[in-house]
Amino acid sequence: MTAYSAAVVAFLITVALLLVLRPLANSVGLVDHPGGRKAHSGEIPVIGGIAMLGGLVVAAVMGGELGHNGIVVILAATFMVLIGALDDRFDLAPQFRLFAQAAAAIALTYGTGFAVPDLGDLLGFGPIATGWLSLPFTVIACMALINAFNMLDGLDGLAGGCALVAFGGFSVIAIAAQAPASAMIACSLLGACFGFLLFNLPAHYNRGFRTFMGDAGSTLLGFVLACVALAMIQPSQSNIPPVFILWMLPIPIFELFTSTSRRLIRGMSPLRADQGHFHHQLLHAGFSVRLIFAIYLALSFAAAACSITALWAGFSEPMMFGLFLLLFVAWLGFIRVAPWIGVVLPMQLRREREHLAH
């Protein structure tokens, strides 16, 4: 089975599982209740992560291109979804979640032999080697991306949409680089994200069957994206310079950096939830959930397209890193002026409270 076929299979399996598991969600307690920071209406099943994992496993295994490393990724991802589902049901302590994330990342590095050998030639003086810090840096990077997607999963469609674009970009690069395992996994989750978004888009048609991905879903997406990115920067694999990976994940990276910095400056734990994420700021500025989703999707797609184009055109790593920093500054500037933009938005683009996911 080709990688493209895997995307179709994953889409179908994910949709089927979402329909089958929906009636069971309430009986096992996998539902999200409104209240507190959660402004959605009614009880929403939290089964998206489990369904997407099912789509990934069936499609990737049927594809037959996984090899040893791909199987390690699937097993570690399954463990991560299990921990995420337990967190969705029982609200696990943050320390336990971090321990599980670290364990999965360590198992990934030892199981595949992959680690971040260097950061690439970001400054124009040659590759910045990680040396003896290679293993801890790899583990921390995996954990960081998992938590970045957890931060992103605050409104309908945001985490799934950004992951969809990233997996699409990785699929293009992996197929072009003839990396079958990475292509199979990326295409499988591309299809799974498509299937999930049918149930999670901020739209009118799906109000009766809206579904959340939960921590199981955000953990799955962040972890597998980290796995695919790690595989693609390996000299023995696709050998993609790390800076091009940044462009595939701009908003999660921006969110992680600013949220962690903000909480540390305020003397808070980096793991403590707050209302300071970018999507919260845009909501407070008057942007509707649909508009925020469109902005996130557009920026993610534009950045991924720039990454692929620049990679194939042979753009230098220092140039791409400098442009990425400029993009970050421009995004922060947009967030800063958002309240003034919100004042002049037409009514159809203004905030609608009922679409809040968390």
Ranges of each domain in the chain: 3-355
| Terminal Cα distance for the chain, rounded | 38
What angle, 0 to 180 degrees and rounded to 10, lies between the N-to-C axes of helices 158-176 and 214-232? 20
Residue 47 has pLDDT above 50, yes or no: yes
What angle, 0 to 180 degrees and rounded to 10, lies between the N-to-C axes of helices 3-28 and 180-197? 50
Residue 234 has pLDDT above 70, yes or no: yes
Q: Model confidence at 3, in pLDDT bands (50, 70, 90)?
A: confident
d(CA 126, CA 123): 7
Residue 86 has pLDDT above 70, yes or no: yes
In whole numbers, what is the pLDDT of the chain averaged over residues? 93
d(CA 349, CA 332): 21
The answer to whether 51 touches 199, Cβ cutoff 8 Å, is no
Give the model's pLDDT for residue 1. Answer: 74
Give the model's pLDDT for residue 352. Answer: 61
Q: What is the DSSP letter of 120?
A: -
Give the model's pLDDT for residue 41. Answer: 54
Residue 282 has pLDDT above 70, yes or no: yes
Residue 356 has pLDDT above 50, yes or no: no
Give the model's pLDDT for residue 248. Answer: 97
What average pLDDT does this structure show over 46-61?
96
Residue 354 has pLDDT above 70, yes or no: no
Q: What is the DSSP letter of 32?
A: E
pLDDT in tens, 177-230: 999 999 999 999 999 999 999 999 999 898 889 999 999 999 999 999 999 999
Give the model's pLDDT for residue 350. Answer: 87
pTM of the model: 0.94
Residue 39 has pLDDT above 60, yes or no: no
> CA angle, corner 103, sides to 100 and 107, nearest 5?
140
Residue 296 has pLDDT above 70, yes or no: yes
Give the model's pLDDT for residue 236. Answer: 81
pLDDT in tens, 123-164: 999 999 999 999 999 999 999 999 999 999 989 999 999 999
Best mean pLDDT range from 35-44, 64-73, 345-354: 64-73
Give the model's pLDDT for residue 12. Answer: 98
Give the model's pLDDT for residue 42. Answer: 64
What average pLDDT does this structure show over 243-264?
95
Give the model's pLDDT for residue 56. Answer: 97
pLDDT in tens, 112-123: 999 999 999 999
Residue 357 has pLDDT above 60, yes or no: no
d(CA 229, CA 33): 34
In the chain, where does DSSP find H-type helix? 3-28, 48-63, 67-90, 94-112, 134-152, 158-176, 180-197, 214-232, 242-246, 250-265, 278-284, 289-313, 317-343
Give the model's pLDDT for residue 358. Answer: 45
Residues comprising the chain, all counted:
358
Within its chain, how far is the Cα of 10 from the centroid?
Answer: 17
Give the model's pLDDT for residue 36. Answer: 47
Q: Model confidence at 6, in pLDDT bands (50, 70, 90)?
A: very high
Query: What percent of the chain is modeled with pLDDT above 70?
Result: 96
The answer to whether 285 touches 342, Cβ cutoff 8 Å, is yes
